[in-house]
């Protein structure tokens, strides 16, 4: 079912689902924002039932804001950028999952973010949030770097930064290296008991690790050497992702995600000429996805 660009009666929903939350934006056919909503984490690795529960909750808010009845959901043309969809296994599950919309196109969150950041033109993004990953659209081709999960990838992310800070704190506590204010601050949070960190880590999610990233930024603001060194390494990791995307042909790279602003001052000078500002946010990219499914080019 394709419609023309001129059909102004269509309703479009953009969905941005990540590991810490889900946001939606509802637009009319002319592109006016008529509602928005927010709900819980919607990474597909958390299970599609949860993902669609959160999407539904956020969409209900957006429809209510727009003054539309809840069952209008069945008329929406939805586009989604969802964390987890870089995995074929997750895309396969989603393909057969019953969605509540008129049409639905979902891609990895980084893909939608890249569409938005460059308005569909060639370019790259590096997502620096709880996780990290890089993606570039170059001449119709998609290139990805990193983003293979907290255990083995996601370098430069908030979760990886938090984990490094916790490791460092334990190493200091054991007397393996000299102690620092940041390390003592973290250990005090765990009652100065390594066992307390161990027990916490048994069930800690990447999001839990990422809660310690602001501690590192705060300590670095106090000119603490160890925290500044940690941020320097995080920034170097991000720089390598940017450089890899430029090497794959991206004319410029936008940093997006919660840590993209605070990490800026720490980035090495040589990558600054490679950085561009995002033209639009990931929800804009998600709405572009929704329209691409529907509108004749």
Report CA-CA distances (Å) from 23 to 80, 143, 258.
Answer: 10, 25, 14
User: Applying CB under 8 A, which of residues 64, 247, 270, 272 lies at the interface with a second copy?
Assistant: 247
Question: Hey, is 232 helix, strand or coil?
Answer: helix
Asked whether position 163 contacts a second copy by CB under 8 A, the answer is yes
Asked whether position 268 contacts a second copy by CB under 8 A, the answer is no
Asked whether position 204 contacts a second copy by CB under 8 A, the answer is yes
Asked whether position 105 contacts a second copy by CB under 8 A, the answer is no
Check: CB of residue 164 under 8 Å from CB of residue 158: no
Question: Hey, is 131 helix, strand or coil?
Answer: coil
For β-strands 103-108 and 77-82, DSSP reports them as parallel
Question: Hey, is 72 helix, strand or coil?
Answer: helix
Which C-beta is closer to a second copy: that of 46 or that of 87? Answer: 87
Token output for 128: 């620096």
Asked whether position 167 contacts a second copy by CB under 8 A, the answer is yes
Asked whether position 139 contacts a second copy by CB under 8 A, the answer is no
Which C-beta is closer to a second copy: that of 71 or that of 195? Answer: 195
Strand partners, 108: 82
- 3-state SS, 200-221, equals HHHCCCHHHHHCCHHHHHHHHH
Closest alpha carbon to 244 in 151, 143, 132: 143
User: Applying CB under 8 A, which of residues 64, 177, 188, 218 lies at the interface with a second copy?
Assistant: 177
Cα–Cα dist 274/152, whole Å:
26
Which C-beta is closer to a second copy: that of 95 or that of 152? Answer: 152
Check: CB of residue 40 under 8 Å from CB of residue 20: no
Which C-beta is closer to a second copy: that of 151 or that of 277? Answer: 151
Asked whether position 241 contacts a second copy by CB under 8 A, the answer is yes
CB 73, min distance to a second copy, A: 32
Asked whether position 171 contacts a second copy by CB under 8 A, the answer is yes
The C-alpha angle with vertex 117 and arms to 58 and 216, in degrees rounded to 5, equals 80
Asked whether position 118 contacts a second copy by CB under 8 A, the answer is no
CB 64, min distance to a second copy, A: 38
For β-strands 77-82 and 11-17, DSSP reports them as parallel
User: Applying CB under 8 A, which of residues 1, 49, 88, 277 lies at the interface with a second copy?
Assistant: 88
Candidates 33-41, 102-110, 173-181, 288-296 — which segment interacts with a second copy by CB under 8 A?
A: 173-181
Asked whether position 24 contacts a second copy by CB under 8 A, the answer is no
Asked whether position 201 contacts a second copy by CB under 8 A, the answer is yes
Which C-beta is closer to a second copy: that of 64 or that of 247? Answer: 247
List, edge to edge, every strand of the sheet that includes 11-17.
33-39, 22-28, 11-17, 77-82, 103-108
For β-strands 253-256 and 123-128, DSSP reports them as parallel
Element (H, E) at 288: helix 282-294
Q: Binding marks (x or -) toward a second copy, 180..199, rule CB under 8 A? A: --------------xx-xxx
CB 45, min distance to a second copy, A: 9
Size, binding site for a second copy by CB under 8 A: 35
Q: Provide the binding-site residues for a second copy, judged by CB under 8 A.
A: 86-89, 144-146, 148-149, 151-153, 155, 163, 166-167, 170-171, 174-177, 194-195, 197-199, 201-202, 204, 240-241, 244, 247-248
């Amino acid at each position: 079912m394709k419609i023309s660009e001129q059909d102004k009666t269509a309703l479009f929903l953009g969905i941005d689902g990540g590991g810490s939350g889900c946001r939606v934006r509802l637009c009319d056919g002319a592109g006016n924002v008529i509602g928005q909503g927010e709900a819980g984490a919607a990474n597909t690795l958390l299970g599609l039932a949860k993902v669609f529960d959160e999407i539904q909750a956020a969409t209900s808010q957006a429809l209510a804001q727009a003054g539309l009845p809840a069952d209008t959901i069945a008329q929406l043309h939805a586009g989604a950028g969802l964390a987890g969809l870089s995995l074929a296994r997750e895309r396969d599950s989603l393909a057969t999952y019953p969605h509540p919309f008129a049409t639905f196109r979902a891609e990895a969150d980084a893909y939608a973010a890249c569409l938005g950041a460059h308005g569909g033109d060639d370019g790259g993004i590096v997502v620096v949030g709880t996780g990290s990953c890089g993606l570039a659209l170059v001449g119709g081709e998609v290139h990805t770097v990193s983003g293979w999960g907290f255990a083995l990838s996601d370098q430069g992310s908030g979760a990886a930064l938090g984990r490094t800070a916790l490791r460092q704190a334990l190493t200091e506590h054991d007397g393996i290296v000299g102690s620092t204010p940041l390390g003592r601050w973290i250990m005090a949070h765990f009652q100065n008991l390594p066992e307390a960190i161990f027990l916490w880590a048994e069930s800690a999610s990447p999001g839990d690790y990422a809660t310690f990233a602001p501690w590192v930024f705060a300590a670095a603001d106090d000119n603490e050497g160890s925290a500044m060194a940690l941020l320097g390494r995080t920034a170097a990791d991000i720089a390598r992702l940017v450089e890899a995307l430029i090497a794959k042909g991206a004319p410029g790279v936008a940093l997006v995600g919660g840590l993209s602003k605070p990490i800026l001052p720490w980035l090495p000078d040589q990558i600054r000429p490679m950085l561009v500002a995002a033209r639009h946010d990931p929800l804009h990219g998600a709405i572009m996805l929704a329209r691409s499914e529907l509108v004749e080019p």
